[in-house]
Amino acid sequence: MEKERISAGQLFALIVLFEMGTAVVVPIGLTAEQGTWLSILIASIGGILLFLVYDYLFRQYPDLPLSGYAQKILGKYIGWPLSLLYIPFFMYTAARDLRETGDLLITTAYTQTPILAVAGLMTLAVVYILFKGIEVLARMAEIYLMILIVLGALGNIFLVFSGVIEVKNLLPILEKGWKPILSTAYPNILMFPFGEMICFTMVFPYLNKRKSGRKTGIAALAVSAIILSFTHAVEVSVLGADMYGRSTFPIFTTITKVNIANFLQRLDAIALLTLIIGAFFKISIYCHAAATVASDLFKVQKKQNLLWPIGITVLFSSLSIASNFLEHLEEGKLTLYSYLPLFAVAFPLLLLTVHLIRKRFGYSSSNVSTDDKG
């Protein structure tokens, strides 16, 4: 890996921003209705368990990304093709996030702007920051996490003073029993956004204190779950379960309800900035992951040489994924129920199982560093 290093605090900021991403602005628990907030908290338990699988494999091979230790565990002839599949997966998911962001922005704010212009500017920003390196992206994450926290706090304060929060909209929580809550949590919310943490297997090797990764990751996922749970609970309490489910962009609809003394109104910028910041970091991490796998598999010395091809592919893929936003959402079910379970759960569990078997019979090829800084 390159000599770039990130701290535990920077990893924390990256994970929180990544997990919030688009999940904080779109409805993610439709069947749970007013129990969405509870489904998020329950799903986070599975998300943390998945993270522990990623963290365990990273600790066994601390200097390698997933594509590196996949070849050590499964052998080159199986591990290399398996790792190769992650490149289009990461790029496809980045393209979906880019399309989602572009559609939401032109629907709510930039109605006269072509989606190519919005998506193109976002792609340009992503490629530029990745040219500067993961360390620069991580430093930015610390700053923007604070900005996002301030924006969120202001938004909630304004909603409280507007008197639009109706706690009764969250009741009864278990109107239809536990089944809708659990079926929403698993696999829906587990896969999106918690299962998407698989791309951080390409970030872990940059940690300057590798042993801090586990505590940092668990803390970041817990904080992300609390923020998402609270945010969606507020949205349901303001809009009601029915409107929340029908809204494409519930956080935007919620913030438009702010009206303090007929003076403080139209705070759409808070929702738009939340979307732009979260989407930027999410797309950046996915593009970084795709570039890392590609440079590792094809032995490209300068990863920056891959960023423009990846960025351009992601941009035009985002435009051709679907003809409209409804079709885009429908296609998302394929990602949720097929691609993410395969790449985020099945393949890592396969690697873990084979590694444990090899270790049990004395064939482990682990290369744990002896100079790990605690």
Residues 6+ apart with CB under 8 A from 278: 17, 20, 21, 22, 23, 24, 25, 148
d(CA 65, CA 84): 13
Architecture (CATH level 2) of domain 8-359: Orthogonal Bundle (1.10)
Q: What is the pLDDT of residue 268?
A: 83
Give the rounded distance of the alpha carbon of 249 from its chain centre.
17
pLDDT at position 365 is 53
R_g over Cα of the chain: 21
- pLDDT at residue number 107: 85
pLDDT score for 350: 97
- What does pTM read for this prediction? 0.94
Q: Which residue(s) pair with 260 in the sheet?
A: 264
Tokens, residue 9: 């605090």
Q: Please count the residues of the chain.
A: 374
Mean pLDDT by groups of 10 residues along the chain of 374 residues: 83 96 83 88 96 96 94 95 97 95 87 92 97 96 96 92 91 85 92 95 93 95 96 93 86 88 78 92 97 96 93 95 80 87 97 93 56 42
C-alpha to C-alpha distance for 239 and 169, rounded to whole angstroms = 8
What local confidence, expressed as pLDDT, does residue 231 receive?
A: 94
Distance separating alpha carbons of residues 182 and 51, to the nearest angstrom = 20
| The pLDDT value given to residue 366 | 47
Q: What is the pLDDT of residue 118?
A: 94
DSSP letter string, 33-94: GGGHHHHHHHHHHHHHHHHHHHHHHHHHSTT--HHHHHHHHH-HHHHHHHHHHHHHHHHHHH
Can you give the pLDDT at residue 32? 78
d(CA 172, CA 175): 5
